[in-house]
């Protein structure tokens, strides 16, 4: 296995690989596996969702022109149709997959059987796999919580008693829970107050470069269709619904909403005051000069979205680091995007007060005053939405809270918690 390009200054380039490949063939190599990137390179060896699928194919294709032995390609090739087309078009003789097999170990069997919609997709977040390993933690997978504990799951016994389960909320947690309950043989129904599934994750998938987050939602939706799990839209959890369905268990997966901070002058400013959710669902149109309060993952993705729309953006991060909840690989590409956009980042911020058209604050101990802004976007903490828990007193069902409704966290915990609930019955 060799690099087609190191993607670093004074590093190995494709022209070098094209000289080496025939020599390796002559020396007896039976195949060449062409990858790219090293630690610290501008193109990471394990790239995130921001990079095109099949990002290293062109390297293998070039090598294939100078050797007669089989050439293998790799690099975010997650769709079997895409993989097939690479081979049919003569760009490579074989396709190597890594993270896709973590997301779904049955990927080859499902592809061979033509069950493409049943393949659980990698979303390229790099969080459960490479990020965890680099942090010296057990590797796993955001979309497949079974990874790393298969031996424990093999010891589980089959369900002997089935229940009626009502899942309130069709975001990723609710969909994952409904799927797992159905797979375990329970009778399941989902109610959702909105007119579509996905919750906040569906909004996040509209951000630049993050569309693949929607792939896991499509998988869950297709799974519920396959398992004949009904989803009632525009239907919040209510006593009437409980009386009608008469569930044994209710799973509250009702998500979270942005929390509004209390800061001097914030609610008296003449600037428009909106949230990141408003930006993504286009409920409000931001102005041209925007202050984003919050430097976590959502704050940076919001800033990127606004910058792509032509806004001048300032991000105020009250923490010491940006987007700590993201994997380092994913964060790298987002930070690179922000460098190219009209975005200014401040960290270790302590806000003194908001004015009619700006804000005064300290950053790293230095005083800063900004003016001439027209919009403030709140993108810091989220608070759980679980008012429906009060209905437990009016029902014989046992209520369980999962996902953001329990505590707002990232997707890995939401799906893992949901599947645990489904297995526990």
Closest CA to 42 of 11, 14, 9, 7: 7
38 and 185 fall within a common domain: no
pLDDT of residue 160: 76
276 and 345 fall within a common domain: yes
Sign of CA dihedral 328, 330, 332, 338: negative
373 and 281 fall within a common domain: yes
pLDDT of residue 153: 81
pLDDT digits (tens, 9 = 90+) for 173-232: 999 999 999 999 999 999 999 999 999 999 999 999 999 999 999 999 999 999 999 999
374 and 266 fall within a common domain: yes
Cα separation of 172 and 120, whole Å?
A: 13
Mean pLDDT of 268-297: 94
Tokens of 148: 């790393």
**108 lies in some domain:** no
207 and 307 fall within a common domain: no
356 and 270 fall within a common domain: yes
Tokens of 378: 């709140």
Mean pLDDT of all residues belonging to the chain: 95
**215 lies in some domain:** yes
81 and 17 fall within a common domain: yes
Choose the final residue of a domain: 97, 112, 137. Answer: 97
179 and 283 fall within a common domain: no
pLDDT of residue 178: 98
277 and 206 fall within a common domain: no
279 and 363 fall within a common domain: yes
**131 lies in some domain:** no
pLDDT of residue 408: 95
pLDDT of residue 270: 97
The enclosing domain of 271 has a CATH number of: 3.50.50.60
Phi, psi of 323 (to 5 degrees): 45, 50
- What is the total count of domains within the chain? 3
- What pTM was estimated for this model as a whole? 0.94
Q: Domain of residue 218: give its range.
A: 161-257+383-424
Cα separation of 299 and 378, whole Å?
A: 8
pLDDT of residue 201: 97
337 and 321 fall within a common domain: yes
The enclosing domain of 229 has a CATH number of: 3.40.50.720
pLDDT digits (tens, 9 = 90+) for 245-259: 999 999 999 999 999
Cα separation of 394 and 129, whole Å?
A: 43
Q: Is the pLDDT of residue 284 over 90?
A: no
Q: Is the pLDDT of residue 371 over 80?
A: yes
193 and 296 fall within a common domain: no
pLDDT digits (tens, 9 = 90+) for 122-160: 999 999 999 998 889 888 999 999 998 888 887 777 777
pLDDT of residue 138: 87
- Within the chain, how many helices (H) and strands (E) appear? 15, 19
Mean pLDDT of 84-100: 97
Choose the final residue of a domain: 82, 97, 112. Answer: 97
Q: Is the pLDDT of residue 74 over 90?
A: yes
**139 lies in some domain:** no
């Amino acid at each position: 296995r060799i690099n087609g390009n190191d993607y670093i200054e004074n590093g190995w380039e494709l022209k070098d690989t094209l000289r080496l490949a025939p020599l390796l063939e002559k020396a007896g190599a039976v195949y060449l596996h062409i990858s790219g990137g090293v630690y610290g390179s501008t193109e990471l060896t394990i790239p995130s969702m921001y990079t095109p699928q099949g990002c290293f194919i062109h390297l293998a294709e070039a090598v294939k022109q100078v050797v007669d032995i089989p050439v293998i390609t790799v690099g975010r090739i997650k769709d079997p149709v895409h993989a097939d087309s690479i081979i049919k078009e003569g760009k490579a003789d074989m396709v190597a997959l890594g993270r896709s097999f973590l997301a779904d170990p049955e990927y080859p069997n499902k592809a061979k059987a033509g069950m493409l919609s049943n393949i659980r997709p990698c979303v390229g977040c790099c969080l459960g796999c490479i990020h965890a390993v680099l942090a010296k933690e057990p590797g796993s997978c955001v979309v497949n919580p079974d990874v790393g504990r298969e031996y424990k799951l093999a010891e589980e016994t089959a369900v002997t008693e089935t229940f009626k389960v009502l899942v309130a909320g069709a975001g990723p947690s609710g969909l994952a829970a409904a799927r797992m309950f159905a797979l375990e043989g329970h009778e399941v129904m989902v109610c959702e107050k909105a007119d579509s599934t996905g919750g906040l994750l569906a909004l996040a998938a509209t951000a630049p470069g993050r569309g693949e987050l929607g792939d896991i939602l499509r998988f869950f939706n297709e799974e519920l269709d396959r398992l004949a799990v009904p989803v009632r839209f525009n239907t919040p959890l209510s006593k009437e619904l409980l009386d009608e369905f008469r569930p044994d268990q209710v799973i509250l997966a009702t998500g979270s909403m942005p929390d509004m901070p209390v800061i001097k002058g914030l609610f008296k400013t003449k600037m428009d005051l909106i949230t990141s959710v408003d930006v993504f669902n286009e409920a409000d149109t931001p102005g041209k000069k925007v202050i984003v309060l919050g430097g976590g993952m959502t704050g940076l993705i919001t800033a990127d979205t606004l910058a792509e729309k032509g806004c001048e953006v300032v991000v105020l991060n009250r923490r010491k680091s940006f987007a700590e909840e993201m994997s380092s690989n994913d964060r790298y590409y987002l930070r690179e995007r922000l460098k190219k956009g009209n975005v200014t980042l401040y960290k270790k911020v302590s806000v003194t007060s908001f004015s009619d058209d700006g804000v005064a604050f300290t950053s790293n101990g230095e005083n800063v005053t900004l003016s001439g802004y027209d919009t403030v976007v709140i993108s810091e903490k989220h608070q759980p939405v679980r008012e429906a828990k009060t209905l437990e007193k009016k029902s014989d069902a046992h209520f369980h809270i999962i996902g953001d409704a329990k505590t707002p966290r990232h997707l890995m915990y939401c799906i893992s918690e949901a599947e645990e609930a489904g297995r526990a019955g």
